[in-house]
């Protein structure tokens, strides 16, 4: 249909039809709104044509509270100290691969996609310790001009896991898979955690041990690490650099310090705290 003939109701009906997935509806609204702006600027539709995509559903496409078994749950979650300790002790119930991946989430604060695509050539023994350099192309900031490779100092259990897997892999990926990518899929990690949740009803006849704490996903461990660093009074810039976030605004433009020394100091402290939590809270 001609763009200029679009009615407000038609725009509303389309967005409303996918409003059950707010993120999808917001993306669609934004894309169509931008297309209409471009068409107006280019003179492809009359100047007096209203951009209904900018006007309808404004502020109404918000995420709804997630429900599991009828229970309202928080989508973004941070595990408490007691839960972290209990989880670390429980991890051996998973496969070795899942145990290793989730441990690396906690000991490095990196993203799951970065962990599962680890390669032998990314690790180096340096004067101050063992380092993992994640190529910029593998990070979420691959398309940001100000981003760089992510430098991750490995301490404690993280170093032990990587060295063990390097001995097995010799070359290539540390978490190999026959898939086209050549390494484990991050979604498989997420699905495996969900499969052990107390409320999971998939394959009800299959027996498996259930997680001692519910309603969390692997990415919540990264969020938990950031919160723990803040509680330990780790400087904001250092904690953000550990997670691989690009510092915003003027800070990101003018502050080019690598924070390598600070990252090692704080991740070493974090490793000690995690080991302590694993023994602090009795069952």
Domain ranges of the chain: 3-64, 71-280
Place of tokens 């101050």: 128
* pLDDT score of 18: 83
Digits of tens for pLDDT over the chain (283 positions)?
Answer: 888 899 999 999 998 888 777 888 888 989 999 999 999 999 999 988 899 988 888 776 665 555 555 555 556 799 999 999 999 999 999 999 999 999 999 999 999 999 999 999 999 999 999 999 999 999 988 888 878 899 999 999 999 999 999 999 989 999 999 989 999 999 999 999 999 999 998 888 899 999 999 999 999 999 999 999 999 999 999 999 999 988 765 444 444 567 899 999 999 999 999 999 999 865 5
Q: How far, in Å, CA of 102 to CA of 115, rounded?
A: 9
* pLDDT score of 162: 98
Q: How far, in Å, CA of 192 to CA of 84, rounded?
A: 18
* pLDDT score of 146: 76
- The CATH class of 71-280 is mainly alpha
| 76: CB partners within 8 A, 6+ apart | 220, 223
Both structure tokens of 231: 């509680």
pTM of the predicted model as reported, rounded to 2 decimal places = 0.75
Cα–Cα distances in angstroms (integers) from residue 149 to residues 84, 118, 122, 130, in the given order: 29, 13, 11, 16
Helix axis angle, 260-280 to 96-108, nearest 10°:
120
Q: How far, in Å, CA of 83 to CA of 89, rounded?
A: 10
Q: Phi and psi for 281 in degrees, rounded to 5?
A: -100, 115
Cα–Cα distances in angstroms (integers) from residue 119 to residues 124, 136, 165, in the given order: 11, 14, 10
Q: How far, in Å, CA of 138 to CA of 114, rounded?
A: 6
Q: Please tell me the number of Cα atoms within 13 Å of 235 on its side-chain side.
A: 9
Which three-class secondary structure state does DSSP give residue 220?
helix
Q: Please tell me the number of Cα atoms within 13 Å of 43 on its side-chain side.
A: 0
- 59-64 contacts, C-beta under 8 A, 24 or more apart: 60/19, 61/15, 61/19, 61/22, 61/25, 61/26, 61/29, 62/22, 63/22, 63/23, 64/20, 64/22
Beta partners for 71?
A: 68
DSSP letters, 41-106, are HTTSS-TT---HHHHTTTTT--PPPEEETTEEE-SS----HHHHHHHHHHGGGS-HHHHHHHHHHH
Q: How far, in Å, CA of 142 to CA of 137, rounded?
A: 5
């Amino acid at each position: 249909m001609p763009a200029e003939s679009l009615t407000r109701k038609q725009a509303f009906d389309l967005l409303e039809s996918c409003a059950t997935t707010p993120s999808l509806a917001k993306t669609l609204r934004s894309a169509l709104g931008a297309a209409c702006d471009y068409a107006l600027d280019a003179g492809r539709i009359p100047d007096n044509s209203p951009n209904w995509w900018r006007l309808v559903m404004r502020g109404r496409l918000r995420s709804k509270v997630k429900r599991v078994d009828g229970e309202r749950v928080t989508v973004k979650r941070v595990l408490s100290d007691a839960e972290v300790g209990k989880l670390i002790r429980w991890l051996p119930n998973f496969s070795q691969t899942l145990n290793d991946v989730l441990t690396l989430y906690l000991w490095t604060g990196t993203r799951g996609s970065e962990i599962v695509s680890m390669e032998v050539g990314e690790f180096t023994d340096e004067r101050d310790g063992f380092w993992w350099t994640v190529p910029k192309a593998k990070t979420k900031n691959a398309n940001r001009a100000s981003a760089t490779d992510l430098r991750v100092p490995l301490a404690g259990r993280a170093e032990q896991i990587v060295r063990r897997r390097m001995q097995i892999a010799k070359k290539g990926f540390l978490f190999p898979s026959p898939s086209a990518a050549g390494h484990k899929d991050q979604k498989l990690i997420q699905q495996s955690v969900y499969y052990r949740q107390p409320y999971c009803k998939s394959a009800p006849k299959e027996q498996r041990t259930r997680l001692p704490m519910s309603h969390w996903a692997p990415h919540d461990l990264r969020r938990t690490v950031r919160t723990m660093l803040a509680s330990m009074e780790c400087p904001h810039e250092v904690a953000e650099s550990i997670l691989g976030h690009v510092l915003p605004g003027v800070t990101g433009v003018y502050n080019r310090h690598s924070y390598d020394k600070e990252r090692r100091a704080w991740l070493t402290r974090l490793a000690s705290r995690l080991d302590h939590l694993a023994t602090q809270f009795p069952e």
